[in-house]
Amino acid sequence: MVNRNTIIIIRTILLCLFPSIGSYAQSVGVKADRYHILIGERIQYELQIELPGTGYSVNFHLPDTIPNFVLIGARHFDTTRSNKGLLLHKVMLLTSFDSGSRVIPSFDVDIAFGGKEKTIKTQPLPVEVGFAASDTTGLKDIKPNLGVTVTNNRWIYIVAIILAVLLISLLVYFYIRKRRRRPPSIFQSKLPAFEEALQTLDGLQWKGNSRAEVLAFYEVLTVCFKRYYSRQKNTKMETKTTGDLLLMMKGDNIETGIVSEIAASLREADAVKFAKFIPSEGQAEQQKQSLKQAIRLLNLYLIPPSA
């Protein structure tokens, strides 16, 4: 029978030669702070690894995606000593947006010591994911009903209407007043100035049997031109002399040839009136045609009246 001391010696020799035989007393455990959550609520998932001593290498395999769950955050391993050796502790925060019965899958934990490696799988954890319960108790008043104060704003609308009417009345008043202040039309005629002048000259006939008839012929020539030029300039020129009219036309940059034609007709009319000049019928007709042509050309330089 083998001596007890001999057995103790043999066991000590084996532990010294093969330390790994007694060093694989590891354990891996997982737990969660809750197993029933609402959609979007957090779960605190805890991983705890117990090791008999130092010299171990631990590799926790956490996949990039976890089916039906979302990894919010993870802490590093915390190491503490216990009576049994070392205690590794890791916390992860998970949530889920898929309602129903879900399972946090198992994860691989590789533990290596003395050139040997061992893989331990964590335990799957079932989790129920649901919606918030509907409130079937009905609506509840948080505060008592407040009385509604009705304000009569009718007088505001009445004042606004009165002010609008006054404003419109003032605008109409000033418009009419301004319109009345406008100078009245100097000449009343259904025809434009140019057409009226040509019509007057076309209707003028020579009747030179007496000096009075000659004066009347040239008076029509002079008045016809003065009226035409007055309407175009919107200024009365009946009292203007021949010299005044010629200066005004030069001020309007009218062509010299046109001014000369008009000057000849007006000066011949002055000669008949003041110098008692008696022209022949041919001379009178020539002056009428010259004045008509001059008015045609003059009309190209003058802007016709707007009304």
Question: Does 125 fall in a domain?
Answer: yes
Q: Is residue 2 part of a domain?
A: no
Is residue 246 one of the residues assigned to a domain? Answer: yes
Mean pLDDT of all residues in the chain?
Answer: 80
How does residue 20 score in pLDDT terms, banded at 50, 70 and 90?
Answer: very low
Q: What is the pLDDT of residues 38-97, one digit of tens each?
A: 988 889 999 888 888 777 888 888 888 899 898 888 888 888 887 777 888 889 898 988
177: CB partners within 8 A, 6+ apart: none
Around 147, how many Cα atoms within 13 Å sit in the side-chain half-sphere?
3
Tell me, yes or no, whether 146 lies in a domain: no
Residue 305 lies in a domain: no
Supply φ then ψ for residue 59, to 5 degrees. -130, 115
Tell me whether residue 182 is in a domain.
no
Query: Cα-atom radius of gyration of the chain, to the nearest Å?
Result: 61
User: What is the arithmetic mean of pLDDT over 150-168?
Assistant: 87
121 in the same domain as 46: yes
Q: What total of structural domains would you count in the chain? A: 2
Q: What is the pLDDT of residues 92-114, one digit of tens each?
A: 898 988 888 999 999 898 888 88
What is the percent of the chain with per-residue pLDDT over 90, rounded to a whole number? 12
The CATH number that applies at residue 121 is 2.60.40.10
Q: Find all residues with CB under 8 Å of 272, minimum gap 6, and list them.
A: 214, 215, 218, 278, 279
Which residue stretches of the chain are H helix? 4-17, 154-181, 193-203, 211-233, 242-251, 256-274, 281-298
| Cβ neighbours of 233 (radius 10 Å) | 16
Rounded to an integer, the average pLDDT of 212-240 is: 87
CA of residue 135 relative to chain centroid, distance: 45
Q: Is residue 5 part of a domain?
A: no
Beta bridge partners of 36: 128
The confidence score (pLDDT) of residue 274 equals: 85
Domain end marker among 79, 112, 130: 130
Of the residues 82, 113, 130, the one at which a domain ends: 130
Asked whether the beta carbons of 132 and 107 are under 8 A apart, the reply is no
Confidence class for position 305, pLDDT limits 50, 70, 90: very low
Tens-place pLDDT, residues 255-279? 888 888 888 888 888 888 887 788 8
pLDDT score for 124: 93
Q: Would you say residue 23 has pLDDT above 50?
A: no
Has residue 286 been placed in a domain?
yes
Question: CA triplet 195, 200, 204: central angle to 5 degrees?
Answer: 150
Range of the domain at 225: 193-298
Confidence of residue 297 (pLDDT cuts 50, 70, 90): confident
Short-list 274, 270, 187, 271, CA closest to 232 = 187
Question: N- to C-terminal Cα distance for the chain?
Answer: 150
Do residues 89 and 47 make contact, with C-beta atoms less than 8 angstroms apart? yes
**Considering 130, 156, 182, which residue would you say is the last residue of a domain?**
130
Instruction: Tell me: pLDDT of 139 over 70.
Output: no
